[in-house]
Every structure is written in C-alpha cells, then in structure tokens.
C-alpha cells in the first residue's frame, strides 16, 4: 500500500504538440456515425472532456440533444478506433522533465494514475506511443464522468477500493489547465499546475493552484506531496 497518489492530466502536462490526430478522430467519428461534416473550430477544447467536445460539435451542426445522446456510444467507440489506427510515434512529444519525474515518483513508491478528458483507448494509445504508459496503474477517462472533478473522485475511490493507498494517503493532481486545479479543489487534494499547455498567461494563477511551475523539470519528486514549492535556485 502506497502512502501517496499522484494523478496526472495528459495533454499539455505529460505530452504536447501531438499533432491533429486526436481532433481528426473526433471529426471522423461524427462523419462515420452521424453522416455529417463537423469541426472543432470555435470549441475551446483545452481542458474539456472528449464526450463534451463531441456534444458541442453535434450541437453546432444542429443535432438535437436527444439524438446526440443516442449517437454518443457509437461516436465514442468510433473515435477510439480511428485514433488507434492513425496516431504515429509520439516519443518526441513528452513534456520537459516528465520521464525523470515519473521515474522519481515511482522509485519513491507513489501510486501514479491518470485523470484526463481523453477517451480511454485514446489516452492509453497516446501515452503508449509516447513511451509513458508503463508508469501508470490505471486512469479515469473522459467517458467515465461528466466533469473532471468527477473523474478525479473516481480515481481516488478506485485507489482506495483496491488498497493501493491508505485512507490518510497524500494525494495530488498535476495539470496544465484551470479545470485540473478546479478538479483538485473539488476533491480537497493538492493542486500542482504547469505552464506547458496552452492556457493563457494568468489563467492558471487565477485558478489558485497550491504551486505552479514553468515545466516539470523544476519539480522535485520528493516535494510533490509534502508541501514544498520550487527547488532551490
């Protein structure tokens, strides 16, 4: 049983500049399942859950909400199929400091898990192609709850249910978007923010994380859960 649980967002936190393949999978799913052409243009996808993005795409195409709900299971399945079959090697897309931080946390016995808006197979495939999937025991993914806070709650509950952590374990969520900070606050866990995503300057600070870093190279694994801030110097 671990004394700590560290939850990670994927896009902008673990990997970045991963190409258009994720968005293309969502667009392709709507085309194949609903028979209409849509786009993610004008949708603020950063920090959103994939099913929410799909719903907004359908809404902007004039699809009624009840029809969108009927289509969603097939959309989710098709988007994952497309992404798995099209995403290239992403080993050059890991954010700065990620591998060292994950290895350091793992060495110190932390349980590592994912909290992401990605659909399950998209998230795992993305990390697999980036060479990072083996660090994580499990994840809470975009189709599993309606909000990111709900996903974090699911991840915490699973870690406790499977006796991966104790009731008094220290828990932190690391992400690059205000939604990650909000999710941490909703679950009363430590919020660690990084500026490696596309969040506009000032927005992360306004969300009120416990600590904020330019990237993960400045984050000492030993300080992730003990309340320490930046490394000396």
Q: What is the pTM of this model?
A: 0.94
CA distances from 96 to 191, 197, 217 (A): 19, 12, 6
Instruction: Give the domain CATH number at 45.
Output: 1.10.150
Quote the pLDDT of residue 229: 35
CA dihedral sign, ordered 221, 180, 45, 114: positive
pLDDT interval class at 231 (50, 70, 90): very low
CA 164, CA 169: separation in Å to the nearest integer?
Answer: 10
Same domain assignment for residues 101 and 169: yes
Quote the pLDDT of residue 227: 58
Per-residue model confidence as pLDDT tens digits over 74-96: 999 999 999 999 999 999 999 99
CA 151, CA 145: separation in Å to the nearest integer?
Answer: 6
β-sheet bridge partners, residue 111: 5
Residue 49 near residue 117 (C-beta atoms within 8 A): yes
Per-residue model confidence as pLDDT tens digits over 147-194: 999 999 999 999 999 999 988 899 999 999 999 999 999 999 999 999
CA 140, CA 149: separation in Å to the nearest integer?
Answer: 10
Pairing status of strand 190-194 against strand 165-175: parallel
Same domain assignment for residues 129 and 61: no
Total tally of structural domains belonging to the chain: 2
β-sheet bridge partners, residue 103: none
Per-residue model confidence as pLDDT tens digits over 107-125: 999 999 999 999 999 999 9
Quote the pLDDT of residue 168: 86
**Long-range contacts, stretch 210-216, CB < 8 angstroms, 24+ apart:** 215/95, 215/96, 215/97, 216/95, 216/96, 216/97, 216/98, 216/101, 216/174
β-sheet bridge partners, residue 165: 2
pLDDT interval class at 51 (50, 70, 90): very high
Quote the pLDDT of residue 201: 82
Domain contains 231: no
Residue 228 has pLDDT above 70, yes or no: no
Structure tokens at 51: 């099913």
Q: Which residue has better confidence, 151 or 47? A: 151
CA 65, CA 49: separation in Å to the nearest integer?
Answer: 17
Highest mean pLDDT pick, 125-139, 192-206, 210-224: 125-139
Same domain assignment for residues 194 and 131: yes
CA 129, CA 14: separation in Å to the nearest integer?
Answer: 12
- The percent of residues in the chain predicted with pLDDT above 90, rounded, is 88
Boundary (domain end) residue, out of 68, 86, 104: 86
Quote the pLDDT of residue 223: 81
Boundary (domain end) residue, out of 86, 112, 131: 86
- Measure CA of the first residue to CA of the last residue in the chain; give whole Å: 34
Residue 200 near residue 182 (C-beta atoms within 8 A): no
Q: Which residue has better confidence, 222 or 111? A: 111
Average pLDDT over residues 38-58: 94
Domain contains 109: yes
Q: Which domain does 77 fall in, by range?
A: 21-86
In the sheet with 111-115, reading across from the earlier edge strand, the strands are: 138-140, 111-115, 2-8, 165-175, 190-194, 211-213
Boundary (domain end) residue, out of 62, 86, 110: 86
Domain contains 233: no
């Amino acid at each position: 049983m671990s004394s700590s649980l560290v939850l990670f967002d994927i896009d902008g936190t673990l990997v970045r500049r991963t190409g258009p393949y994720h968005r293309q999978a969502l667009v392709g799913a709507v085309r194949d399942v609903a028979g209409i052409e849509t786009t993610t243009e004008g949708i603020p996808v950063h920090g959103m859950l994939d099913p929410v993005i799909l719903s907004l795409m359908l809404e902007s195409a004039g699809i009624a909400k009840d029809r969108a709900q009927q289509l969603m299971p097939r959309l989710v399945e098709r988007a994952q199929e497309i992404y798995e079959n099209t995403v290239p090697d992403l080993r050059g897309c890991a954010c700065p400091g990620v591998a060292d931080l994950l290895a350091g946390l793992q060495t110190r016995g932390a349980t590592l898990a994912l909290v992401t808006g990605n659909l399950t197979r998209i998230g795992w495939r993305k990390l697999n192609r980036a060479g990072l999937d083996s660090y994580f025991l499990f994840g809470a993914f975009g189709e599993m709850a309606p909000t990111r806070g709900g996903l974090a709650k699911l991840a915490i509950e699973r870690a406790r249910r499977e006796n991966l952590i104790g009731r008094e374990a220290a828990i932190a969520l690391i992400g690059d978007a205000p939604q990650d900070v909000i999710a941490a606050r909703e679950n009363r866990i430590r919020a660690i923010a990084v500026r490696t995503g596309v969040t506009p300057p000032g927005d992360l600070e306004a969300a009120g994380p416990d600590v904020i870093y330019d990237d993960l190279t400045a984050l000492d694994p030993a300080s992730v859960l003990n309340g320490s801030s930046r490394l000396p110097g």
